[in-house]
Amino acid sequence: TPTLVLAGGDDRPDFTGAGQYLERKMPDARVVVLEGGGHSMHESSHANEVAELVADFIDALDKP
């Protein structure tokens, strides 16, 4: 199952590590670490970047 995991570079290491763990265990997972992002980066500091990454990920699902 294609999976996009977003992590903030300034988030707690256990959250970032969880994303890296999922990437190792799930063959279709992709982790993107956004430098300077925190746990709520989707709501503030990196909202536009998160929205663009999610939109690109969804668009790629529709392509063969």
Per-residue pLDDT band at 31 (split at 50, 70, 90): very high
Rounded to an integer, what distance in angstroms lies between the CA atom of residue 35 and that of residue 15? 14
**Is pLDDT of 63 > 80?**
no
Query: How many domains does the chain contain in total?
Result: 1
The model's pTM is 0.80
Cα angle value 45/46/47 (rounded, 5°): 100
- Domain extent, residue 33, equals 3-61
Residue 17 has pLDDT above 90, yes or no: no
pLDDT at 35: 87
